[in-house]
Structure 1
Amino acid sequence: MALLVVNRVYNNNTVLVNVGKRDQAIVQGKGVGFQKRHGDKILPAQVERIFYLNTDEAKQRFGTLLKDVPIDITMTSFAIIEMAKQAFHYPVLDYIYVTLTDHISQTYKHIMSGKYQKSTVPDISDKYPIEYEIADKAVDMINHDLNVHFPKDAAQPIALHFINAHGIENLGEEEKIDTENFGENVNKIVKSVFSEHGITRNITNQNYFDRLMIHLQYLVARIQTDEQDKQELNQNIESDFQKLYPKSYKIASEICDEIQTRLEIKLNDNELVYFVIHIQRLIQEK
């Protein structure tokens, strides 16, 4: 391991270090930051976990999360993702670092304030056994690292995060869809339509992109439990959005049409409106 030099101490157990001349990393270990100051060296033997921030996007993502999420929760979330990659060889799309961390943070707040409610996410472990095994281990890691008690059912929405962030390529026009892998296929369709319109996740739009990914997770849950939004929106909203945001409306319509055609399901009109809202923010259509 290269020389580790303290850049910033977050707490006694978590430190941002410079690795060599160019790279940075977050290291964790019992007492690794105790009485350390900028420029001090850390012995590799003290390090229990290390997360490299070797790209500008990784540094940006980590900095964004720390504005809203405590460092211990952020690092536990990152450790869970690394566990999935290494122990299960499970590929993930980068946005899971944001969506999973946000989810764990919100659940932690609800538990600590006594407002936690049992997850309404459907149990689809028979179709996704690996993701559910990852999620079970994730709950154990959370409880151990954060000294909290996430109940067993907290694993289900965590599994859904991994299902929907599974590393997949864009869907080609002629590629057939396996309707059993519903969550992955919704992501494939959205990313395929985005690709046609040149929409990609970047530093400028990453927050809105990640919010859309969260919306997709709950859309999948609503469809699989046949609990789509039953509330009727004002009939003028859709036509107004079509006039105000024609490009966003066009992209949203293509996504909804593809989902309905390829997955042989029916979306209600509200889902189209929700997609328009997310896409308008994503592409910043004025």
Structure 2
Amino acid sequence: MKVHKILNNNVLVTVDPSGNEVIIMGRGVGFKKKEGDVIDPSLIEKKFSLSNKEALPRFAELLSEIPIEVVTTSEIIINYAKETLGEKLQDSIYISLTDHIHFAIERHKQGFDIPNGFLWEIKKLYPKEFKIGMHALNIIRDRLKVELPEDEAGFITFHIINAQLNDTMPNIVNMTKIMREILNIVKYHFKFEYDEESLTYQRFITHLKFFAQRILNNSFVASHDVSLYEIVKEKYPTSYQCVKRVDLHLIQQYEHPLTDDESLYLIIHIERLRSELSAHA
């Protein structure tokens, strides 16, 4: 491998046999090197080749400014998240999470920790991702000797969710707000407490996550089978009345009236929740 571009003494860019740029990290790997020089393989600590070519220059720039220890720690957290969730995450997380961890550590050292106003909702709505966030704090503590507060586990959770949905961070915050609002409407309509460990609740949360994303992106699910909606509406009148309250709220707050298909899915999910909780009452 030969040097294609030098970012600093520890980070450089090379090109693989297919012509794709690859970022190389290692202490002193770029020291006294110039374009075209052969790279010493013994100095290579990390290689990064992102599938998103647009993200690569931004990631390379970030790596040139952040200590290797922080970058490798972020990568360990990302790999742990991928393994735990069993799914691919968007390449954007390498940029966003690495940058956030570095900034959070610098802020913490200066005694300036930022409280997370959505921490309670994050714990309740994204328990699996939040556990990853908490484990990330342990990884940061063990590797970087910095004890970040629990609020940062919530912020890390947001970055993981963002990489799952490939959405913007402000949208993730707003999405969480919409989910909380709908959950509260259902909860107070039926006057019950959720069983947050149940599979039915988790399915409802997953549905709300993507439903809230559609609202924020102003996309609608077109109605197809009106007859099925009418059947379900008649069969589950109490859940239908609850969905009507959700519909009114969404119109007033987001100018997003529910389509028949969206109402259908909500009625079915809510009825499952109601039936399950009634059976255990």
Q: Please point out which of 133, 136, 154 is paired with 1:135.
A: 133
Q: Contact 2:214 / 2:220 at 8 angstroms: preserved in 1? A: no
Q: Contact 1:168 / 1:188 at 8 angstroms: preserved in 2? A: no
Matched residue SS, 1:26: strand
User: Structure 2 CA distance, aligned partners of 1:259 and 1:165?
Assistant: 28
User: Structure 2 CA distance, aligned partners of 1:127 and 1:93?
Assistant: 21
Q: Contact 1:12 / 1:31 at 8 angstroms: preserved in 2? A: yes
The question of 1:40 aligning with 2:37 is answered yes
Q: Contact 2:9 / 2:29 at 8 angstroms: preserved in 1? A: yes
CA 1:194/1:92 → structure 2, altered by over 3 Å: closer, same or farther? farther
Q: Offset at 1:184? A: 4.5
Matched residue SS, 2:205: coil
Q: Contact 1:6 / 1:16 at 8 angstroms: preserved in 2? A: yes
User: Structure 1 CA distance, aligned partners of 2:253 and 2:42?
Assistant: 51
User: Structure 2 CA distance, aligned partners of 1:147 and 1:39?
Assistant: 38
Q: Contact 1:189 / 1:259 at 8 angstroms: preserved in 2? A: no
Q: Please point out which of 60, 79, 82 is paired with 1:85.
A: 82
Q: How does 1:186-265 map to 2 (within 5 A)?
A: 186-191=212-217, 193=219, 256-258=254-256
Q: Letter of the aligned partner of 2:108 in structure 1?
A: I
Q: Which has the higher helix share?
A: 2
User: Structure 2 CA distance, aligned partners of 1:104 and 1:77?
Assistant: 7
CA 1:165/1:55 → structure 2, altered by over 3 Å: closer, same or farther? closer
The question of 1:26 aligning with 2:40 is answered no
- Write the deviation string for residues 84-103 of structure 1: whole angstroms up to 9, x where unpaired: 33564333345444543443
User: Structure 2 CA distance, aligned partners of 1:120 and 1:192?
Assistant: 25
Gaps of 5+ in 1: 170-176, 197-252, 265-286
User: Structure 2 CA distance, aligned partners of 1:117 and 1:194?
Assistant: 36
Q: How does 1:93-242 map to 2 (within 5 A)?
A: 93-123=90-120, 124-125=122-123, 127-143=125-141, 148-167=146-165, 179-181=204-206, 182-191=208-217, 193=219
Q: Contact 2:119 / 2:151 at 8 angstroms: preserved in 1? A: no
Q: Contact 1:13 / 1:32 at 8 angstroms: preserved in 2? A: yes
Identical aligned residues as a percent: 30
Q: Offset at 1:162? A: 1.4
User: Structure 2 CA distance, aligned partners of 1:195 and 1:189?
Assistant: 10
Structure number, greater radius of gyration: 2
Matched residue SS, 1:165: helix
Root-mean-square deviation (CA, aligned residues, Å) is: 4.4
Q: Letter of the aligned partner of 1:112 in structure 2?
A: K
Q: Contact 2:5 / 2:13 at 8 angstroms: preserved in 1? A: yes
Q: Contact 2:7 / 2:13 at 8 angstroms: preserved in 1? A: yes
Q: Letter of the aligned partner of 1:166 in structure 2?
A: Q
CA 1:12/1:154 → structure 2, altered by over 3 Å: closer, same or farther? same
User: Structure 2 CA distance, aligned partners of 1:23 and 1:110?
Assistant: 36
User: Structure 1 CA distance, aligned partners of 2:8 and 2:75?
Assistant: 17
Once structures 1 and 2 are overlaid, which stretch shifts more, 156-165 or 120-129? 120-129
Q: Letter of the aligned partner of 1:160 in structure 2?
A: F
Q: Contact 1:91 / 1:166 at 8 angstroms: preserved in 2? A: yes
User: Structure 1 CA distance, aligned partners of 2:36 and 2:6?
Assistant: 11
Q: Contact 1:16 / 1:27 at 8 angstroms: preserved in 2? A: yes
Q: Offset at 1:149? A: 3.8
Matched residue SS, 2:3: strand
Normalised to the residue count of structure 1, the TM-score between the two structures is 0.50
Q: Letter of the aligned partner of 1:186 in structure 2?
A: A
Q: Letter of the aligned partner of 2:212 in structure 1?
A: V
Gaps of 5+ in 2: 168-201, 223-250, 267-281
